[in-house]
């Protein structure tokens, strides 16, 4: 009955429904995106208590070395980084080295621990053994259709347009399974590969290639004995650190910032700062969305109120058949509830499509994947809100029907 009434007035029902869908949709979309981005950020923060890099913006340091979206702040010397990683407050550390990309995907020189940090698993192949062997993240090899044994040419810098190192290519030795973290969109290799490719680049000598190859082999054999001496003059971009005890997070970053010319940044702190920054924009949009919901409530009210005036003979008729006032009033409330619940459902659907759309956009621009979609507890609050809205907007019409003087209405007919 209520459904038929809604269907018999498609236009006005549709307007209230559209408004409500829009309002609920926007709020739910914001909630979803917020939670997905937070999830994604937290996922990538796993196991990283602090990042050490060159002086500059701490947020930039975090974005570049944890999320791999911004340019690095600069390089730091290997020696100093090593000093920090030997500090007793450091549980474990991973050195990172940037410089190149392959078709826009960053090539990171790092340690093998990096793979374990993101709990990544090999789909095929194995870890690198020599320089210029690389392991490719899931999204990279899926998008570029890379297989084991392929040769990748890198270009200088972090953008696709950089000068390419035509003379030196990487050989793919491993493919990773998706881990839903940044490693999916990275190409990782040993730090030596990155150091060497830039040595080659600088010398620009015809014999260089050959020389370098020899050097690699030598390096590789003696890696363990000579590690410190050999790398002393080298530079790295950043170092990810996990503390030996969580308590160190208070003291250690400050100590580094004050006593060395390195910069230490705490990702969880910087990210919450970032969220506060764009939280303002999110708040504004959500107020707007709540306003739309309120307007939709009014529209619903006017819709029901008009319909009630038009249908008062019908109401009176139903009463003469013997329906109680209560039955009629609850019918009106039910009608409103059906509309609001429908609006809620459509709104959620709308937000899901929105999330899919946004995540496809984001995937292209910054290589992020926001794939998992679930119902959030905040959305249950939206459900409660729409039920309240449905009841409130139908309350006055329902009361009016309750007090209706059937005899008078029928006599006026």
Which CA distances in Å does 88 have to 93, 260, 324, 347? 12, 17, 80, 53
Candidates 222, 203, 225; CA nearest to 212 is 203
Element (H, E) at 223: helix 208-231
| The one among 247, 323, 366, 375 contacting another protein by CB under 8 A | 323
CB of 324 to another protein, least distance (A): 5
Q: Which is nearer to another protein, 164 or 330 (CB)?
A: 330
Contacts of 201 (CB under 8 A, 6+ apart): 156, 165
Number of residues that bind another protein (CB under 8 A): 24
14 in helix, strand or coil? helix
Q: Which is nearer to another protein, 1 or 11 (CB)?
A: 1
CB of 387 to another protein, least distance (A): 24
Q: How far apart are CA 71 and CA 43, in angstroms?
A: 21
Kindly identify the residues of this chain, within the stretch 372-411, that bind another protein according to CB under 8 A.
406-407, 410-411
Report if residue 319 touches another protein, rule: CB under 8 A.
Answer: yes
Candidates 48, 59, 66; CA nearest to 106 is 66
Rounded to 5 degrees, φ, ψ at 153 are: -95, 135
CB of 308 to another protein, least distance (A): 13
Instruction: Please spell the DSSP secondary structure of 161-187, one letter per residue.
Output: TSPEEEEEEEEEEEEEPP-SSGGGG-E
| The one among 278, 313, 353, 381 contacting another protein by CB under 8 A | 313
Contacts of 298 (CB under 8 A, 6+ apart): 393
Only one of the segments 3-11, 21-29, 103-111, 221-229 lies at the binding site for another protein (rule: CB under 8 A); that segment is 3-11
| The one among 278, 314, 366, 380 contacting another protein by CB under 8 A | 314
| The one among 321, 364, 377, 403 contacting another protein by CB under 8 A | 321
Only one of the segments 244-252, 268-276, 312-320, 361-369 lies at the binding site for another protein (rule: CB under 8 A); that segment is 312-320
CB of 390 to another protein, least distance (A): 20
CB of 342 to another protein, least distance (A): 17
Q: Which is nearer to another protein, 227 or 314 (CB)?
A: 314
Q: Which residues of 57-81 are buried (b: 16+ CB within 10 A; e: fewer)?
A: ebbbbbbbbbbbbbebbebbbbebb
Report if residue 371 touches another protein, rule: CB under 8 A.
Answer: no
Report if residue 5 touches another protein, rule: CB under 8 A.
Answer: yes
Number of H helices, E strands in the chain: 14, 12
Both tokens assigned to 37: 């981005």
69 in helix, strand or coil? coil
Report if residue 11 touches another protein, rule: CB under 8 A.
Answer: no
Report if residue 287 touches another protein, rule: CB under 8 A.
Answer: no
Report if residue 317 touches another protein, rule: CB under 8 A.
Answer: yes
CB of 15 to another protein, least distance (A): 18
Rounded to 5 degrees, φ, ψ at 128 are: -75, 150
Report if residue 1 touches another protein, rule: CB under 8 A.
Answer: yes
CB of 306 to another protein, least distance (A): 14
| The one among 324, 360, 371, 372 contacting another protein by CB under 8 A | 324
The site string for another protein over 327-346 (x = CB under 8 A, - otherwise) reads x-------------------
| Positions of E strands within 179-255 | 187-189, 235-236, 238-243
Q: Which is nearer to another protein, 261 or 320 (CB)?
A: 320
> Percentage helix, strand, coil, to 5, in the chain?
60, 15, 20
Q: How far apart are CA 350 and CA 302, in angstroms?
A: 25
Report if residue 250 touches another protein, rule: CB under 8 A.
Answer: no
- Residue 92 pairs in a beta bridge with 242
Q: Are 107 and 170 in contact (CB under 8 A)?
A: yes
Q: Which is nearer to another protein, 250 or 411 (CB)?
A: 411
Contact residues toward another protein (CB under 8 A) are: 1, 4-5, 7-8, 311, 313-314, 316-325, 327, 406-407, 410-411, 413
């Amino acid at each position: 009955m209520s459904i038929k009434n809604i269907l018999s007035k498609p236009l006005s029902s549709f307007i209230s429904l559209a408004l409500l869908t829009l309002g609920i949709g926007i709020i739910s979309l914001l909630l979803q995106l917020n939670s997905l981005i937070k999830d994604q950020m937290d996922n990538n923060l796993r196991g990283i208590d602090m990042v050490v890099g060159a002086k500059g913006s701490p947020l930039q340091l975090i974005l570049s070395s944890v999320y791999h979206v911004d340019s690095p702040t600069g390089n730091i010397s290997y020696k100093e980084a090593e000093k920090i990683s030997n500090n007793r407050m450091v549980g474990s550390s991973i050195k990172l080295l940037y410089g190149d990309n392959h078709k826009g995907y960053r090539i990171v020189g790092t340690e093998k621990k990096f793979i374990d940090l993101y709990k990544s698993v090999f789909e095929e192949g194995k870890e690198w053994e020599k320089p210029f062997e690389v392991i490719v993240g899931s999204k990279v090899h899926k998008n570029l259709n890379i297989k084991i044994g392929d040769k990748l040419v890198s270009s200088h810098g972090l953008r696709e347009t950089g000068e390419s190192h035509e003379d030196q290519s990487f050989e793919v030795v491993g493919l990773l399974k998706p881990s839903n973290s940044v490693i999916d969109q990275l190409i990782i290799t040993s730090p030596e590969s990155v150091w060497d490719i830039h040595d080659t680049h600088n010398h620009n000598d015809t014999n260089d290639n050959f020389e370098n190859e020899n050097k690699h082999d030598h390096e590789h054999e003696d890696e363990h004995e000579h590690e410190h001496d050999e790398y002393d003059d080298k530079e790295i971009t950043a170092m990810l650190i996990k503390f030996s005890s969580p308590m160190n997070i208070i003291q250690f970053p400050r100590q580094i910032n004050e006593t060395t010319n390195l910069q230490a940044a705490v990702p969880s702190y910087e990210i919450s700062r970032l969220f506060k920054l764009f939280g303002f924009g999110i708040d504004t949009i959500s107020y707007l969305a709540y306003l739309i919901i309120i307007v939709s409530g009014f529209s619903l009210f006017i819709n029901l109120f008009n319909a009630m005036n038009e249908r008062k003979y019908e109401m009176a008729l139903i009463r003469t058949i013997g329906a109680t006032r209560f039955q009629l009033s609850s019918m009106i409330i039910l009608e409103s509830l059906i509309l609001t619940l429908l609006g809620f459902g459509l709104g959620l659907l709308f937000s899901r499509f929105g999330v899919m759309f946004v995540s496809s956009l984001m995937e292209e621009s910054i290589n992020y994947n926001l794939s998992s979609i679930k119902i959030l507890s905040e959305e249950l609050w939206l459900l409660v809100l729409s039920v309240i809205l449905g009841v409130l907007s139908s309350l006055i019409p329902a009361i009016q029907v309750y007090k209706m003087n059937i005899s008078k209405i029928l006599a006026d007919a």
